[in-house]
Structure 1
Amino acid sequence: MKLKDNTILITGGSSGIGLELAKVLTSKGNRVLICGRSAAKLKQAREAIPEVEIFACDLSKQSERLELYKRVAENYPECNVLINNAAVVSRTDFRTDEAMIEKAEAEIQTNFMAPIALSKLFLPLLEKNANPAIINITTGLVYAPKASYPIYNATKAALHSFSQVLRHQLQENPVKIIEVLMTVVDTPWHGGEVPKMAISPQEAVKEMLRKLEKGQQEIRIAKVGMLYLLSRILPRLAFKLINRT
């Protein structure tokens, strides 16, 4: 994949991996658009990267997905790359959490339905432009789920499956379907409880972009490759290792 002269939309681009992607891709000569729910975080992102274009958007709502697409299509018809990065997580106990269903709906809408909806909306636009791609950010937890994330794992596993099927269906289409399976990354997403094995956003993005340039379409970051192999050979051990305290 060519990483220069693109117009790239990154969802969840105001912090963490999305923000780091915006910084690096902008520095490489791309026009970068980011969306996020927090207007304050978006403003901070623009202060850090003056060239970036920002869109406030709650991707859990279909009306706001549609509005995002319309604004991008009208103002940046040259958009050729969509990075579905936005995600939310609830660390909770399924049985005891009284708000479990509401939390599940929010995670399913943001983590799974939003990438599906945006892919459907943007596909005709991307097809018109050179070097088109949809990049879905998932996680190594699709291979061995973390028990404290009762819904998050499932949404990412679903997105993993969707990415594989969409890639197969579009194999004769110019739009490349790429999946990036992230390892644990030191971002605000962890709410201050960052696991010791976490790598920096800079390391994660550097590896992701290097493998994108090589043309890989299913990219496993850092130790996710080892987890993938272990889950195939010894799935119970993989699950135990992910959930050790």
Structure 2
Amino acid sequence: MVLQNNTVLITGGSSGIGLELAQRLIERNNEVLICGRTPEKLQRARQKLPEIKYLQCDISKPADCERLRNWVLEEHPDCNVLINNAAIVHVENFFQDDDILDKADAEIQTNLLAPIRLSKLFAPILSNNKNPAIITITTGLVYVPRTIYPFYNATKSALHSFVQVLRSQSSDSPIDIIEVQFPAVDTPWHQGNPPDIAISAKEAVGNMIQEVEKGNKEVQVGKVKLLYLLSRIAPKLAFRKLNSL
């Protein structure tokens, strides 16, 4: 697909990869819409990109997903691209954290159930417009888990599986189903401590756009390709290498 002349909604669009996507896509598209949980981040995004439209909401809550759908339907009915980008992570020890189950629920709701729910809610809106697409952001960790994340790997692996099934079941639908798997990217998501192998958000998003516009449905950005191959050839070595970084 061509990422221009669209109306695009990006979840988690107020910082990091989402904001970089908004900045790149606003140049060639009719409208870029974003949503996020934090009003201050959304306002800063608007100051940086005055053209964007935003709605403050928490997509981990079903009612807020419906409110987001209604906002788009009423005010931006020509929306034809949904980018499921929002995600959260906890770096915890499963056995030592007394609140770990609450954190698991938060990650599952945000990282997995929200994209599933939004894909269902937005499909009728997207289908009414030309060149509809659902682009879901995952990670190379769907192939090899990082042990500092008790739930993040699992939520993204489940999302990867869901997208594969969705793509198969949408063979009669006009909606393009695309997955983008990112490597480590230097964004505020790492809370000031990105791994040495992290690439810039500009490089990551530029690679993504290039590959999506080539028509690829499962995009492996940067070293994700290498991680995928290594996980197939030598899974134990891949696990050790990734978790020694």
Q: Bin the TM-score by the shorter chain.
A: over 0.9
What does 1:12-161 correspond to in 2, within 5 Å?
Answer: 12-161=12-161
Q: Distance in 2 between matches of 1:68 and 1:173?
A: 23
Report the equivalent of 1:168: 168
One-letter code aligned to 2:8: I
Deviation at 1:140, TM superposition (A): 0.1
Report the equivalent of 1:196: 196
Q: Distance in 2 between matches of 1:227 and 1:43?
A: 37
Report the equivalent of 1:211: 211
Q: Distance in 2 between matches of 1:52 and 1:71?
A: 14
Report the equivalent of 2:235: 235
Report the equivalent of 1:183: 183
Q: Distance in 1 between matches of 2:150 and 2:112?
A: 14
For the residue of structure 2 that corresponds to 1:27, the secondary structure is coil
TM-score computed with the length of structure 2 as normaliser: 0.99
Q: Distance in 2 between matches of 1:116 and 1:78?
A: 21
User: How far does the alpha carbon of each residue in 1:159-203 deviate from its partner, in whole angstroms, 9 at most, with x for none?
Assistant: 000000000000121101000000000000001111011000000
CA distance 1:115–1:145, change in 2 (3 Å): same
User: How far does the alpha carbon of each residue in 1:55-107 deviate from its partner, in whole angstroms, 9 at most, with x for none?
Assistant: 10111111111111101111111000000000000000000110100000000
Q: Distance in 2 between matches of 1:8 and 1:97?
A: 39
Q: Distance in 2 between matches of 1:242 and 1:73?
A: 43
Contact (CA 8 Å) 1:126, 1:175: kept in 2 or not? Answer: yes
User: How far does the alpha carbon of each residue in 1:93-137 deviate from its partner, in whole angstroms, 9 at most, with x for none?
Assistant: 000110100000000000000000000000011111100000000
Structure 1 stretches of 4+ moved >3 Å: none
For the residue of structure 2 that corresponds to 1:154, the secondary structure is helix
Contact (CA 8 Å) 1:65, 1:117: kept in 2 or not? Answer: yes
One-letter code aligned to 2:168: H
Q: Distance in 1 between matches of 2:109 and 2:73?
A: 22
Q: Distance in 2 between matches of 1:110 and 1:80?
A: 22
For the residue of structure 1 that corresponds to 2:186, the secondary structure is coil
Q: Distance in 2 between matches of 1:30 and 1:178?
A: 21
RMSD: 0.7
Contact (CA 8 Å) 1:3, 1:30: kept in 2 or not? Answer: no
Unaligned runs of 5+ in 1: none
TM-score computed with the length of structure 1 as normaliser: 0.99
Q: Distance in 2 between matches of 1:99 and 1:162?
A: 28
One-letter code aligned to 1:243: N
Deviates more, 1:21-30 or 1:177-186: 21-30
Contact (CA 8 Å) 2:7, 2:29: kept in 1 or not? Answer: no
Deviation at 1:4, TM superposition (A): 1.2
Q: Distance in 2 between matches of 1:237 and 1:33?
A: 42
Q: Distance in 1 between matches of 2:75 and 2:190?
A: 34
Unaligned runs of 5+ in 2: none
Q: Distance in 2 between matches of 1:3 and 1:146?
A: 32
Report the equivalent of 1:221: 221
